[in-house]
Amino acid sequence: MPIQPIRFFGDPVLTTPASPVTDFDKELRTLVADLIETMHDAPGAGLAAPQIGVSLRVFVWDVDDEIGHLINPTLDLSDELQDGEEGCLSFPGLRYETPRALRAVAKGFTMHGEPITVEGTEFLARALQHETDHLNGILFVDRMDKLTRKAAMQEVRESEWFNAATESGSQPIIRVSPHNTRGLGN
């Protein structure tokens, strides 16, 4: 399974709501395998399909040595919150305080189309919220308080990865189709 390039902040695919998966087919299983391999290569604790340019509601995680994936997830969150720093593979090097719900219950499907419920607290809850946000075009900077977000965006503007993409005009062309999970033509 090939490792896919990770899209960085500035790429429009990251701020576009992803489409529900309708076909639980071989392409979907390949997408899940690619996500897991790309997440491990990075390495990261979670990765959502839009981060590799595929605008479908799929994400994977690896938290406390448990690897999981969810298709078309919905989330129930506790009112109780947690503090803690968070990072994102689409913002290389950034880590900032990001408030999240302490507990999350995610309902969705496996890649074989079976219903599944995943319950998490603390870091797993944080990962489930972060990755579900990606499917809605929401990024962790959107969850930060105003001052933290300002500092984070300043670091983005000064970062090599952001400037390399914008100066060369090399932000990738996004090709998205809900029926083509491998929309990776570039």
Catalog residues that contact Zn ion under the rule CB under 5 A: 88
Between the CA atoms of 55, 75, 102 and 35, what dihedral angle is there, to the nearest 10 degrees? -30
**Which residue lies nearer to Zn ion by CB, 75 or 88?**
88
Place of tokens 């639980």: 24
Least Cβ distance, residue 98 to Zn ion (angstroms): 11
Catalytic-residue membership of 131:
yes
Nearest to Zn ion of 132, 181 (CB atom): 132
Burial 96-105 (b: 16+ CB within 10 A, else e): bebebbbbbe
Choice between 54 and 88, CB closer to Zn ion = 88
User: Which one from 131, 155, 158, 160 is the annotated catalytic residue?
Assistant: 131
Contact by Cβ (8 Å): 179, 27: no
**Virtual torsion, Cα 3, 156, 48, 106, nearest 10 deg:** 150
Residues facing residue 101 across a β-bridge? 81
Least separation in angstroms between residue 54's CB and Zn ion is 14
Shortest spacing between CB 124 and Zn ion, in angstroms: 15
Nearer to Zn ion, 18 or 88 (CB): 88
First to last CA, the chain: 18
Q: Least CB distance from residue 130 to Zn ion, whole Å?
A: 6
A 10 A CB-CB count for 186 gives 10
Rounded to an integer, what distance in angstroms lies between the CA atom of residue 72 and that of residue 77? 17
User: Using CB atoms, what's the residue nearest to Zn ion?
Assistant: 88
The catalytic residues are 131
